[in-house]
Chains A and B, each alone.
Chain A
Amino acid sequence: MPKINFRVILKFIGLLLCLEAAFMLIPYLVALIYDEGDAMAFLLSILITAGTGGLLFYFTRNDRNEVGKRESYLIVTSIWFFFTLFGMLPFCLMPNPLSIADAFFETVSGLTTTGASIVPDVEALPHGILFWRSFTQFIGGMGIILLTIAILPILNHQGGLILFNSEVTGISHEKLKPKIGETSKKLWSVYVSLITILTLLLCLGPMTPFDAICHAFGAMATGGFSTKQASLNHWDSAYVDYVITIFTFIAGINFALVYRAITGDVKRLFSNEETRWYTFIVVGATLVVTAGLYVTGQNSSLEETLRVSLAQVVTVITSTGYTIGDYVAWGPFFTTVFLLLMFFGACAGSTCGGAKIDRLVVLAKNTRNEFYRVIHPNAILPVRVNGKAISHEVVSKILAFILVYVMVLIAGSTILTALGLSIEEAFGSTLSCLSNIGPGAGATGPTGNYAFIPDVGKWLLSFIMLIGRLELFTVLILFTRYFWKNS
């Protein structure tokens, strides 16, 4: 076995658990204000989390923060795991507690911004718990590590950078500033300001401030947890639909580009190929869905049909998963269209899930080149994205990524069918969890939930959400032989 520095891993876990305990103070305050009997659950959770984290950190505080490749993968995966493990405490300790499998599923779903829920009646939950559920999306949205790097100077060094690279999504990770701490701060300032603006805008509509904050978390983190059973349909307001759609659309763009656009470099945002493809797919899919609704006679007024189609397309492609329309009720064709959108998701470097459009672009161009080479076998054709040639290594990495993505999808679906789900439900839920969307197909569709799935299935889907969020390799590498073998 290679020499892995486990102490430094424990140190980071300890440190981050302390941070999580600090985060729990906010829902604790909410619970105190509403006084619905869940405050005790938060107080206990805070004590347990802070106690464990504090002890771990205390015993390892003098260790050097040296992080190698192996440690970085272990740290990132285990931090996401332990965040979930301690994050589920409020759900287990509240007055009508959830089972362990349910609580874990709900927490991982929030942190990975999936938004798949097993709670049969959301509105019955106390406000503190509802807030924590939405707040987990905020924490996980930009990434736990990224958040830590932004607020704790302890990670603003080489080790922090390596961790950053194992967590951030997409093929390449653009730096905004030379120091990783600065880059993270910029990204987070964009994220937090957008959430603030969205909350204010939603408050102007029919939502209460509490609902507005929770939905702003859900939209910008592209999670999709709602505080109402009927999700956005509860308000039935064009204003809410438009505001949420616009902001989830922005949440689907690379945050580095959003930051540059805000600071004056708007040209770069629109000339970026990935953003263009993203916009094109959203517009195209909206038109297809609208046309489909007209053909099948399910249309209402043109404005409403267009709005519902657009809102549903954006909420699915950005992996948010609010319920505005119900594609499952519309018919199998619509389900297929939305499952296709789920696969790739939105842009890299955003808060979205899925295989990411930058990979789709490279794959599409590479495939086109392969066809051209059938006729011109000696042609030298690099894959160009944004005018830059992509090396063969990167292309082959992406091909491997897609292959593993599909393999996980097939394996997950197969196991779920063995547990008694229909093919449609099994495939839909696995894809939905892997891409961190939320609604799947059939009974797990936009108006349904995941409560009926057996516990084994819930654990499996929780695991799939986690590997989907960390883009496969970070988690799956831990299950390979060479990770643990010295060679």
Chain B
Amino acid sequence: MKIIIAGAGEVGTHLAKLLSREEQDIILIDNDEEKLKELDANYNLMTVVGNPTAFKTLAQAQVHQADLFIAVMPFETRNIIACTIASKLGAKKTLARVDNYEYLLPKNKAFFDSIGVNELIYPEKLAAEEVITALRHTWTRNWFELCNGELIVLSVKLHENAQILNKKLYELTTADSQFHIAAIKRLHETIIPRGNDEIKVGDIAYFTTTPNHIREIQQLSGESETEIHKIMIMGGSRIAIRISNYAPGDMAIKLIESDRQKSYRLAEYMHDVIIIQGDGRNVDLLKEEGIRDMDAFIALTDSSETNILACLTAKELGVKKTIAEVENLQFISTAERLNIGNIINKKLLAASRIFQLLLDEDSSNAKCLALSDAEVVELVAKEGSKITKAPVKDLKLPADLTIGGLVRDGHGMIVTGNTHIQPNDHVVIFCLDTALHKIDKLFN
């Protein structure tokens, strides 16, 4: 498949690197030669220097052969124009990153289709949704529902009180067990565990399970659920505005923003939110505004370092749930080891959303969750594909890939060695980045 990415910003670069490892032809366009030079010399992709909204540049990148055109430049107007031109020049499908919530409304879909923009993504909205999910399931790090909630993928950081520590995985699996540990994140690395592996303190474990067995996992991991009613947000970013829109009525939000002008503007958008002007790093201010009574603290400033430190402070002051926005990809694995609850990264969210659209092209229905070095993918097994040929234990699956669970006729179930996958099953696959291309062979 030929994919053209316009804009070598952080989303574009991350996506290009990720996709270049697979059997995709990637062409990356940007104005800045310096940015492209390093990527061109070190990654298996092609770069074109030039303005992505210029006909000449797009023709040079042979946009007429493109299966997908992704515009992720900093300005939404340029993204939309680039997509319009690209689609008129013959790109099969286009996607633009936008900053305006209004564009995403279903009633405007027809308009964007008519100007050649097929898909829109708004990373801030994705981030806000992620935050809301995290607030609903406070004891997990990740929560991912598949097929209308029939199958759930969740991750938990395991502390000393967890019951499943230092046990071999095969001891945990009994005949009627209804969960599957599909991946473990330990230090900087994600592991696909086998029966002989053990879970250690500080690991983040990824479970797949059905909705009825959530409590079981919660008990095993020694976590308890907190109901969230009071939230403090630090940093009046666009994500904060979206959160205030999506938050259920029983959640009261207090927002701390350091810029006075901006605080006034925010007050216009956010009616039910109490806006405090001040520096969120100031502990006295936090105490004064009642941080001790808060159920959750969300740090969304532009600085990843500030967000991480602020969350640590909030934890010390007794806030149960903290969420930090960490935009530097390099910080994520370090931040995960610290005692911060959830980490939000717009780039990973945007990239995984785009990735999902890509898989959609090949398979009828697919979902995808991006972790920093692994992916969770939901795919439909096709008639006659390799994965339906034998029970799972006889498939000789690669070591960097595992099947988490499946949904058959609308019912979620856990996959064991004896499960024989049938055509049209929705299958949840965990795989490390190195194994992405192997999925295709199994399912097609």
Tell me the A residues contacting B by CB distance below 8 Å.
Answer: 156-158, 160-162, 165, 175, 177-180, 182
Contact = CB atoms under 8 A, between A and B. Distances in A.
24 contacts: A157-B44, A158-B20, A158-B21, A158-B42, A158-B44, A161-B41, A161-B42, A161-B43, A162-B42, A165-B41, A175-B40, A175-B46, A177-B25, A178-B2, A178-B20, A178-B25, A178-B26, A178-B27, A178-B44, A178-B45, A178-B46, A179-B25, A179-B44, A182-B25
Contacts of A156: 44
Contacts of B41: 161-162, 165
Contacts of B21: 157-158
B321 to A, nearest CB: 38
A180 B43 CA distance: 9
Given A178-B25, A179-B25, A160 B44 contact: yes
Given A157-B21, A161-B44, 19 more contacts: A158-B20, A158-B42, A158-B43, A158-B44, A160-B44, A161-B41, A161-B43, A162-B42, A175-B40, A175-B46, A178-B2, A178-B20, A178-B25, A178-B26, A178-B44, A178-B45, A179-B44, A180-B44, A182-B25
Residue of B21, B27, B43 ringed by the most chain A CB atoms within 10 A:
B43
B46 A177 contact: yes
Interface in B250-273: none
Contacts of A157: 21, 44
A158 B43 CA distance: 5
Contacts of A179: 25, 44
Nearest to B26: A178
Interface in B25-47: 25-27, 40-46
Contacts of B26: 178
A157 B2 CA distance: 16
Contacts of B40: 175
A156 B333 CA distance: 29
A175 B21 CA distance: 17
A175 B45 CA distance: 9
| Closest A-B pairs by Cβ, 3 of them | A178-B46, A178-B25, A175-B46
B361 to A, nearest CB: 17
Nearest to B47: A175
B23 to A, nearest CB: 8
A158 B44 CA distance: 5
B1 to A, nearest CB: 11
A438 B179 CA distance: 71
Contacts of A177: 25, 46
B337 to A, nearest CB: 23
A71 to B, nearest CB: 13
B431 to A, nearest CB: 16
A160 B20 CA distance: 13
A177 B41 CA distance: 14
Contacts of A182: 25
A195 to B, nearest CB: 27
Question: Which secondary structure characterizes the binding site on chain B?
Answer: mixed
Interface in B346-365: none
Residue of B27, B42, B43, B44 ringed by the most chain A CB atoms within 10 A:
B44
A73 to B, nearest CB: 14
A156 B44 CA distance: 8
A178 B22 CA distance: 12
A320 to B, nearest CB: 30
Nearest to A182: B25
B420 to A, nearest CB: 30
Interface string B214-246: 000000000000000000000000000000000
A429 to B, nearest CB: 35
A157 B25 CA distance: 12
A180 to B, nearest CB: 5
A179 B27 CA distance: 10
Contacts of B2: 178
Contacts of B20: 158, 178
Contacts of B25: 177-179, 182
B228 to A, nearest CB: 43
A477 to B, nearest CB: 16
A178 B27 CA distance: 6
A175 B2 CA distance: 15
Nearest to B24: A178
A158 B38 CA distance: 12
B396 to A, nearest CB: 16
Contacts of B27: 178
Nearest to A389: B33
A143 B204 CA distance: 47
A350 B41 CA distance: 19
A388 B40 CA distance: 18
Contacts of A161: 41-44
B250 to A, nearest CB: 50
Nearest to B27: A178
B149 to A, nearest CB: 38
A158 B45 CA distance: 9
Interface string B33-67: 00000001111111000000000000000000000
A156 B437 CA distance: 13
Contacts of A178: 2, 20, 25-27, 44-46
A165 B41 CA distance: 7
Contacts of A158: 20-21, 42-44
Interface string B12-26: 000000001100011
Nearest to A156: B44
B49 to A, nearest CB: 9
B32 to A, nearest CB: 13
A169 to B, nearest CB: 15
B223 to A, nearest CB: 36
Residue of A160, A162, A178, A182 ringed by the most chain B CB atoms within 10 A:
A178
A449 B25 CA distance: 49
A162 B43 CA distance: 8
A187 to B, nearest CB: 14
A111 B45 CA distance: 29
B418 to A, nearest CB: 29
B62 to A, nearest CB: 10
Nearest to B17: A158
Contacts of B42: 158, 161-162
Contacts of A162: 41-42
A396 to B, nearest CB: 16
Nearest to A161: B44
Nearest to B49: A388
A82 B4 CA distance: 40
B188 to A, nearest CB: 15
A127 B83 CA distance: 61
A158 B40 CA distance: 10
B406 to A, nearest CB: 30
A278 B25 CA distance: 33
A182 B42 CA distance: 16
A412 B288 CA distance: 79
A162 B20 CA distance: 14
A165 B44 CA distance: 11
Interface in B267-311: none
Contacts of A160: 44
Contacts of B44: 156-158, 160-161, 178-180
Nearest to B3: A178
A449 B423 CA distance: 71
A156 B25 CA distance: 12
A175 B27 CA distance: 11
B101 to A, nearest CB: 34
A161 B40 CA distance: 9
B38 to A, nearest CB: 12
Contacts of B46: 175, 177-178
A165 B39 CA distance: 13
